Amino acid sequence: MVIALVASSLSAAGVAHATSTEAMDLRALVHDADHVVVGTVVSQDARYDHLDRIVTDVTIRVDERMHGAAREGTTIVVRRLGGVIGDVGLRIEGEPSFVEGERVVLFARLVAADHVLRPIGMSQGVLPISRESGIEMVMPGGEGLALVQRGSDGRLRAAPGALMAPEPVDALLARVRDLVAEIHGAD
C-alpha cells in the first residue's frame, strides 16, 4: 500500500524538490508486481491521455522474465506521468525516467482503470543497470522521492528504499527470483 503524500513541499522559490511516498523494500516491490522483468528500453512516446495529461509510454524489450505474462523477446509498454510534446513539458518528481538502450529491472503493475502497466512505487519500481569497472551493477531506484515510513508514534520518518547501494546484477536477481518463488510461486 502506498501512502502517496502530496508532499512536494514548495520551497520559498516555489519549486518542488521531491515527492514523499512510502518506502518499499524488495519484498514489497515483488509482492505488488504483476510483472518483474529485466528489460531494455526500446522507445518512448509522449502523448496526451484521456485526462489531457502528458504521459509517456515506454516500450521495453523483455530480456528476462521473472514474473508475469510477458515472455522473453517480447515487448511491454509501461506508462509514466510526464514527458515532452513539442515545446510543452510536464515533470512529476518521483516518476521514473528512462533512456533508450538502457537496461532496467522493472517491477510493474497493471492499472485496470487505464489498462496500462505502471512502475510500482513510482521510480522505486525501476532499477537501472549500469556497467562499473566491467561489472553490471543494479543502481538504487527512487529518484526524486523522499521515502518515508510511519513510526509507532504515527509520525513519518525518512526510510531506506529497496536498494541502498549499487549491487551486482547476478546477486540482486538471485534475491528477486527467490522472492518471486516465495510470494508468487512458479509461473
Instruction: Note the pLDDT of residue 17.
Output: 65
- In sequence order, the β-bridge partners of residue 162 are none
Instruction: Note the pLDDT of residue 38.
Output: 98
**For 31-59, how does the pLDDT look when each residue is reduced to its tens digit (9 = 90+)?**
999 999 999 999 999 999 989 999 999 99
pLDDT bracket for residue 8 (50, 70, 90): very low
34's CB contacts (< 8 A; 6+ apart) are 67, 68, 108, 109, 110, 117
49's CB contacts (< 8 A; 6+ apart) are 55, 114
Task: State yes or no: pLDDT of 10 exceeds 80.
Answer: no
Instruction: Note the pLDDT of residue 2.
Output: 38
Query: CB-based burial of residue 97 (10 Å sphere; 0-12 exposed, 13-18 middle, 19+ buried)?
Result: middle
**For 119-148, how does the pLDDT look when each residue is reduced to its tens digit (9 = 90+)?**
999 999 999 999 988 999 999 998 899 899
Structural domains of the chain, ranges and CATH numbers in brackets: 26-140+164-184 (2.40.50.120)
pLDDT bracket for residue 115 (50, 70, 90): confident
Instruction: Note the pLDDT of residue 13.
Output: 40
CB 60, CB 37: distance < 8 Å? yes
Instruction: Note the pLDDT of residue 3.
Output: 39
Query: Regarding predicted confidence, which is higher, 3 or 134?
Result: 134
CB 104, CB 38: distance < 8 Å? yes
Instruction: Note the pLDDT of residue 118.
Output: 96
CB 32, CB 120: distance < 8 Å? yes
CB 72, CB 62: distance < 8 Å? yes
C-alpha cell belonging to residue 108: 510493474
